[in-house]
Amino acid sequence: MGRKVRSLMLWQPPSVDCIKMNFDRACDMKNSFSGLGVVFQDCRGELKGTMAVPQVGNLPPRSVEALALLHGLRFALHVGFLNLEVEGDALSVISSINNSLDDLSLEGHILDEVKLLVQSFSFCSGHFVKREGNGIAHRLAKEALKISQPFLCLESGPEWLH
């Protein structure tokens, strides 16, 4: 991924030849449940895909963020989004994937898999964005807390997003 960590306040469209992937997590510690949210948009802000994935168990927030990133990258490769600008509001996850050193943290194995996966893209850059610029991904993650099966859409999203 790109080496630069920049902070964005609001969502900005990707360059014309790229798809932007925003990822986030939501946690319900009381019920031992987490949700992953991922959204893909083009340079006009149009939805190219969405994901809401429930996860059972009390995982640390950074682990859930790393899983959201991993699931999003796998989906992107599967559907052929090979020029990708990735944004997330977990600075430590973005910093880790932009770093070539091994990550020895609890979720290091997930982030190492992310780093390997990134090599499959024609272009892939990672950037930190503040929560305000990551709203759709966060809403998808919160919706994932309410479902029992993953929800994946290509070229659209759930009705409440439109």
| pLDDT tens readout for residues 133-144 | 999 999 999 999
**Which CATH code is given to the segment(s) 7-156?**
3.30.420.10
Tell me which of 24 and 29 has the higher pLDDT.
24
Amino acid at 79: V
Tell me the Ramachandran region of residue 102: left when phi exceeds 0, alpha when psi lies from -120 to 50, beta otherwise: beta
In the structure, what pLDDT confidence band is assigned to residue 17 with cuts at 50, 70 and 90?
very high
Task: Say whether pLDDT at 70 is over 80.
Answer: yes
The residues, ordered by sequence, that sit 6+ positions from 119 with a Cβ below 8 Å of its Cβ are none
Contact by Cβ (8 Å): 141, 33 = no
Amino acid at 35: G
For 23-37, what is the mean pLDDT?
94
Count of C-beta atoms within a 10 Å radius of residue 119: 8
Contact by Cβ (8 Å): 144, 31 = no
Contact by Cβ (8 Å): 134, 93 = no
Q: Which residues are 102's β-sheet partners?
A: none
pLDDT at 4: 45
What is the rounded average pLDDT for all residues in the chain? Answer: 90
Q: Which of 144, 64, 61 is nearest to 157 (CA)?
A: 144
The values of phi and psi at residue 15, to 5°, are -65, 165
pLDDT at 18: 98
pLDDT at 162: 61
Tell me which of 82 and 57 has the higher pLDDT.
82
Flag the least confident range among 7-16, 26-35, 50-59, 70-79.
7-16
Q: Which of 62, 132, 131 is nearest to 97 (CA)?
A: 62
